[in-house]
Amino acid sequence: MHDLVVSGGTVHDGLGGPGRVADVAVNGGRVTAVGTGLGAARRVLDAGGLVVAPGFIDPHSHSDMHEEYPASTDPIKLFQGVTTEILGNCGFSPPDFTGYMDKLDGTPLVANACVLVGHNTLREAANGMGTALRPGALERMCEAADEAFAAGAVGISSGLEYAPGAYGDTGELVALATVAHKWRRIYTTHMRNEGEGLIAAVDEALEIARRARVRLQVSHCKASGPRAHGLSLVVLKRLRAARIAGIDVLGDIYPYTACSTGLAAVLPAIALEGGEESLLKRLADPAERAALRTIAEHPDEWYGAGIWRETTPEDILIVEHKDGSLLGRTLGDIAGGRDPWEVLCDVVAADPEAATVLTTMSEDDLLSFLADPLIGVGSDGGLTTPLGHPRTWGTFPRYLGRYVRDKQALPLAEAVRRMTSLTATHFGLTGRGWIGVGGHADLCVFDPATIGHEGTFTEPGIRPTGVQHVVMAGKVAVADGEFAGERHGRLIRAA
């Protein structure tokens, strides 16, 4: 007798082939049979009329930013069908990496977790928030990266639009990625610029991967700001040419035309040199504000220029701030008739940890990225706040509903592949991302006719629709659309 049978659904195995109506049998946390007439089971999940897919894998998660993680029982990822997420993205990871991994190990998690070690974190620990590297700092960074890989980090991430990572040069990144090569781990990057300097930033990422001989994941692909609109096709051409040349590169995207980040990221990266105290001193000095404005509006180079030129005050929505009266308002609205730059500086000075949602992308570029077989799906989702980006709650259902079903940007079988085996293979997650005998029994059962998410930036936390059942390690985590109340995820250390 089987532990579990998921019965009568259209099985999409995650490898891109056509779906077929079949049962999936599970025993001991693994798939043991796919077919018909599989025999009795202790529990049966009816999947008639539904799609049975591998559990979705989120390659770009910031769930580790959640203050309760890993103790949180919030099932927001399970309601999207996500069973595994990659943490430590955009160059940020816990300072005590080994201690963090030990904390996760053995702790039941809502979803399986893999962790990247972050360049920003390594650099700050070895060098503080200064721009130039002190003697021996790079060596200390490489040693710390080596220790993280020994502890099971699946790769190294960079966030080159953020301080202090923005202060590192290409050679510094090559040195760290070379350590990743020794362990056969991946390099993921939030590139230096996603706007007017996008192509140069892509070329740098590819150069790092080529010189260090590592797999490359380009995080949250976008062409940000009106001056960059249309560059998606150039980026994709670069990525295809790189693969032909032998660089194992893929990317991910979230299905929205707005991004979200700290409000301080709108300023040039040099504003944060020396840390928060130095930032506040600069913002209190009218001459320093003017100098930062010059860099933001007329940069000598795009690296470290900030996001100011990529958006407008009307498209900068405040979603986190100590002053509650600012929440849900745009910078343009807050400014009224005042100078928006000066208001931006005032708002950041009042709360350097403030967060924003910025509309910067075009639907045409989004569709170009979504349609390309090299681009998977990643949420970039993190904090669960009353206001914020709905990607945290709805990336995967929105992708399947709005773009696969409604806009027909790509076939369903290919969409499932982008959310499963594409990521699993690239990140070295053996036995995950596909449905077949011997594979891990992480499954998502969803209704292709109703799946979707209606969350907005002012009401992001709406429950997605369409995910009926989720199985993790052979255990039912979501049944009939409701959380079963138990956490079956675990830490996955790189072998």
The pLDDT tens digits of the residues spanning 47-64 come to 999 999 999 999 999 999
Instruction: Decide: 31 and 439 in contact? Cβ < 8 Å.
Output: yes
Is residue 73 pLDDT above 90, yes or no? Answer: no
Instruction: Decide: 9 and 445 in contact? Cβ < 8 Å.
Output: yes
pLDDT at position 444:
98
Nearest alpha carbon to residue 400 among 419, 380, 384: 419
Is residue 439 pLDDT above 90, yes or no? Answer: yes
**Residues ≥6 apart with Cβ < 8 Å to 86:** 57, 58, 59, 60, 61, 114, 115, 116, 154, 188, 423, 427
pLDDT at position 71:
67
- At residue 233 the predicted structure's pLDDT band, cuts being 50, 70 and 90, is very high
Task: For residues 252 and 399, give the distance between their C-alpha atoms in angstroms, rounded to a whole number.
Answer: 12
CA distances from 323 to 280, 320, 387 (A): 17, 9, 14
Q: What is the pLDDT of residues 167-199, one digit of tens each?
A: 999 999 999 999 999 999 999 999 999 999 999
Q: Which two tokens stand for residue 238?
A: 């670069």
Mean pLDDT (whole number) for 266-275: 95
- At residue 70 the predicted structure's pLDDT band, cuts being 50, 70 and 90, is confident
Is residue 128 pLDDT above 70, yes or no? Answer: yes
Would you list the domain boundaries of the chain? 1-54+436-448+466-484, 56-257+361-419, 261-359
Task: For residues 437 and 26, give the distance between their C-alpha atoms in angstroms, rounded to a whole number.
Answer: 9
Q: What is the pLDDT of residues 364-398, one digit of tens each?
A: 999 999 999 999 999 999 877 889 999 999 999 99
**Residues ≥6 apart with Cβ < 8 Å to 465:** 397, 401, 450, 451, 452, 453, 454
Q: What is the pLDDT of residues 347-358, one digit of tens each?
A: 999 999 999 999
E strands present in 166-315: 186-190, 216-218, 249-253, 258-262
- At residue 67 the predicted structure's pLDDT band, cuts being 50, 70 and 90, is low
Could you please state the CATH topology (level 3) that the domain comprising 56-257+361-419 is classified under.
Answer: TIM Barrel (3.20.20)
> Looking at residue 273, what DSSP letter applies?
T
Q: Which two tokens stand for residue 300?
A: 């000598």
pLDDT at position 241:
98
Task: For residues 319 and 260, give the distance between their C-alpha atoms in angstroms, rounded to a whole number.
Answer: 9
- At residue 495 the predicted structure's pLDDT band, cuts being 50, 70 and 90, is confident
Percent of the chain with pLDDT over 70: 99
Instruction: Decide: 398 and 255 in contact? Cβ < 8 Å.
Output: yes
Helices (H) and strands (E) in the chain, counts: 14, 20
Could you please state the CATH topology (level 3) that the domain comprising 1-54+436-448+466-484 is classified under.
Answer: Urease, subunit C; domain 1 (2.30.40)
Q: What is the pLDDT of residues 284-327, one digit of tens each?
A: 999 999 999 999 998 877 778 889 999 999 999 999 999 999 99
- Pinpoint the alpha helices (H) of 276-384: 276-283, 286-297, 331-335, 340-350, 363-371
| Paired residues of 5 in beta bridges | 25, 44
pLDDT at position 335:
97
11 CB neighbour count, 10 Å cutoff: 25
153 CB neighbour count, 10 Å cutoff: 28
